[in-house]
């Protein structure tokens, strides 16, 4: 039975909500902040910025990461840039336009109030990062440079060569390191959160495993913030780093946090194609390349394996420019990905596998010169050459879509609090501001907005009621019980004694997800996928094998726990995709498309956030948050 849930959106005009909220939200006085403990799990853009900012405010912060150093978090790999409505170009940008582009890019499935707030704080992020010493690209006059990204008609993307995520994360990591030195943040590296502890209906702490010794530890706090990233690795092959996982969010879900829109996954159009079975991950080629690269396939199937330089202009189909003249190669990601899939499904895909299209820079090199292209994209071209052994200055790149980002995540209200009081989710870990499709250069913006400028305000609303609570003990039956359950699950994994590697289960899960819950989905395939995943889960718990010991550094055990959680999440994703009888953004149901093959939404029946409640061993329970558009007129998305 579906019930409605409250997202606590402040009243008032869209442009006044956040200002008014900030003016009225209860505060915690400095002398009380010292008595309040906050746990941050994760140290990427959202986690590091939140931990640093809360530490600066005077809270007692503990920050946990499973990496050896906070600087390793996967935010580091973001290449292209970060959006901000600075309008430094004088090209017609504004807070409203960034807000509008993001809602439209998300195919009208994001919450208006959150997205407007995101656009409002976007400029502050750039200011903060520059003050920290982030070396953004500059022009000869010494001022900041911008580039364009998909789904927009202005240049609002700030960038640091092809390493924007790295530089922003290092900025946040340095701010975090400063607080560690000042003693406001205590850092726990090589510690992985395995469960949350709920006491009297409030989240009061976590159970973590020390990855070096295998010891389980209890940590208590007045509030817990999950900044643990997305779950793209449910597909096995994705652009995510190898250790990215859903364990923190999935375990929180099983303790009562609703999971929002799990089926909304972003397939990024420009990645290096799969080359073989042994492949462990896919490498993204930044969307910024579409500023100058032109996507095409041969018009005739017999040209598929020909040297692309020998194929004359008239025999090439620049399919994005043909289908979407207004945006051309800079259409949003979901549209570019699907167009590549359509071309390959028609038998025009290039390369040995037939699962690739060309991204060609010959025109850009002719127009701007090789040196200019090298300056803008040199590191990306080098990366491509290292992986493929081909030189993209001479021959077009071969690219294909790959799983990149998950718009779904833990459901949160306007305060970024999950449905469990005291448990927050920030960055990619929450179901986020991107609706059914995220625009390029918006993930970095959202992660840092949450951590630097939103959570530090909104968490006060909850913590102001905790000033009389006093220190929270870990010596309680609730902590005892959760720790016991974690220990039992570890023992269960160690004692499986089956015959198949955990890796092989992960690979099989990924194949089911990619084939049936990937770029295109249909009801029949999703029903099959649910059955296959249930069977895979049963087989895992009977026949997987985990070597080594639980009381030691054991990456295989870490992987086993994560894969077991991915299997459960995979099933929920398929259920969500099956229930959503429409196409929107990254969720493309083959049964619901226009004559031109574009996504066909059903705003009457599906203009809501699907927030799933863990159903124990039974079926998950669907809650709906209706999406009310007070400001923006909901229309069919068009980039033609």
Question: What is the rounded distance in angstroms from the CA atom of residue 558 to the CA atom of residue 93?
Answer: 46
Q: How far is CA 180 from CA 45, 74, 606, in A?
A: 16, 21, 46
CB of residue 87 to another protein, shortest distance in Å: 11
| CA–CA gap between residue 276 and residue 441 (Å, rounded) | 30
Contact 50, 40 (CB under 8 A): yes
Distance, CA of 132 to CA of 177 (rounded, Å) = 12
- Tell me whether residue 126 or residue 622 sits nearer to another protein (CB atom): 126
Q: What would you report as the CA-atom Rg of the chain, rounded to the nearest whole angstrom?
A: 24
Torsion of CA 11, 16, 19, 21, to 10 degrees: 0
562 - beta bridge partners? none
Which residues, in sequence order, are CB contacts of 504 under 8 Å at separation 6+?
none
CB of 224 to another protein, least distance (A): 20
Please classify residue 183 by burial: count the beta carbons closer than 10 Å to its beta carbon, then call 0-12 exposed, 13-18 middle and 19+ buried.
exposed
| Whether 626 contacts 7, CB under 8 Å | no
**How many helices and strands in the chain, by DSSP H and E?**
18, 22
Active site residue 71: no
- Stated as kind and residue range, the H or E segment containing 28 is none
Residue recorded with tokens 């305060």: 415
Distance CA 91, CA 157 (A): 13
Marked catalytic residue, from 156, 304, 333, 562: 333
What are the structure tokens assigned to 457, written together?
Answer: 């305000």
**Spatial separation of the C-alpha atoms in residues 19 and 581, rounded to whole Å:** 37
Nearer to another protein, 124 or 321 (CB): 124
Residues in the chain: 640
The catalytic residues are 333
């Amino acid at each position: 039975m579906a019930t409605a849930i409250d997202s606590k959106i402040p009243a008032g005009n869209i442009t006044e909500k956040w200002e008014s909220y900030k003016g009225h939200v209860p505060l915690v006085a400095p002398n009380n902040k010292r008595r309040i403990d906050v746990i941050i799990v994760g140290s990427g853009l959202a986690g590091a910025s939140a931990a640093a900012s809360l530490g600066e405010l005077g809270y007692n912060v503990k920050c946990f990461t499973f990496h050896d150093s906070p600087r390793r978090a996967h935010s580091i790999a973001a290449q292209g840039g970060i959006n901000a409505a600075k309008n430094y170009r004088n090209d017609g940008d504004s807070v409203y336009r960034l807000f509008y582009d993001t809602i439209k890019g998300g195919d009208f499935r994001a919450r208006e109030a959150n997205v407007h707030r995101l656009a409002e704080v976007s400029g502050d992020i750039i200011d903060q990062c520059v003050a920290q010493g982030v070396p953004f690209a500059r022009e000869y006059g010494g001022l900041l440079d911008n580039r364009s990204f998909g789904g927009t008609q202005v240049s609002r993307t700030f960038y640091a060569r092809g390493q924007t995520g790295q530089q922003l994360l290092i900025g946040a990591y340095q701010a975090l390191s400063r607080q560690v030195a000042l003693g406001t943040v205590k850092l726990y590296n090589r510690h992985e959160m395995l469960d949350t502890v709920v006491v009297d209906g409030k989240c009061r702490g976590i159970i973590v495993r020390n990855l070096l010794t295998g010891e389980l530890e209890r940590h208590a706090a007045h509030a817990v913030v999950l900044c643990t990233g997305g779950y793209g690795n449910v597909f096995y092959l994705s652009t995510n780093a190898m250790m990215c996982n859903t364990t923190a969010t999935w375990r929180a879900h099983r303790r009562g946090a609703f999971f929002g829109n799990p089926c909304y996954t972003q397939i990024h159009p420009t990645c290096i194609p799969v080359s073989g079975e042994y492949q462990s991950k896919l490498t993204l080629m930044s969307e910024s390349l579409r500023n100058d690269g032109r996507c095409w396939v041969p018009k005739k199937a017999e040209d598929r394996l020909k040297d692309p330089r020998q194929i004359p202009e008239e025999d090439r189909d620049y399919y994005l420019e043909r289908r979407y003249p207004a945006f051309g190669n800079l259409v949003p990601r979901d549209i570019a990905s699907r167009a590549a899939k359509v071309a390959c499904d028609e038998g025009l895909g290039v390369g040995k596998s037939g699962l690739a299209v060309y991204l060609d820079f010959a025109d850009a090199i002719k127009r701007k010169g090789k040196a200019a292209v090298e300056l803008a994209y040199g590191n990306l071209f080098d990366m491509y050459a290292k992986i493929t052994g081909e030189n993209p200055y001479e021959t077009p790149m071969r690219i294909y879509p790959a799983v990149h980002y998950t718009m779904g995540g833990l459901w949160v209200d306007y305060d970024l609090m999950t449905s469990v009081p005291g448990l927050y989710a920030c960055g990619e870990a929450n179901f986020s501001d991107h609706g059914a499709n995220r625009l390029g250069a918006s993930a970095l913006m959202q992660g840092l907005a949450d951590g630097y400028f939103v959570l530090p305000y909104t968490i006060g609303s909850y913590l102001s009621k905790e000033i009389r609570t006093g220190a929270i003990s870990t010596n309680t039956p609730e902590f005892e019980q959760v720790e016991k359950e974690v220990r039992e699950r570890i023992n269960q994994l160690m004692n499986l004694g089956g015959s198949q590697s955990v890796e092989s289960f992960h690979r099989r899960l990924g194949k089911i997800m990619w084939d049936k819950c990937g770029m295109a989905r249909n009801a029949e395939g999703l029903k099959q996928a649910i059955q296959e995943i249930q069977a895979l889960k049963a087989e895992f718990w009977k026949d997987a094998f985990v070597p080594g010991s639980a009381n030691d550094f054991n990456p295989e055990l870490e992987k086993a726990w994560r894969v077991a959680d991915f299997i459960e999440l995979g099933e929920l994703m398929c259920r969500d995709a099956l229930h959503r009888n429409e196409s929107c953004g990254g969720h493309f149901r083959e049964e619901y498309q226009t004559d031109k093959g574009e996504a066909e939404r059903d705003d009457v029946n599906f203009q809501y956030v699907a927030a799933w409640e863990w159903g124990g061993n039974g079926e998950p329970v669907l809650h709906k948050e209706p999406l009310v558009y007070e400001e923006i007129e909901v229309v069919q998305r068009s980039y033609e």
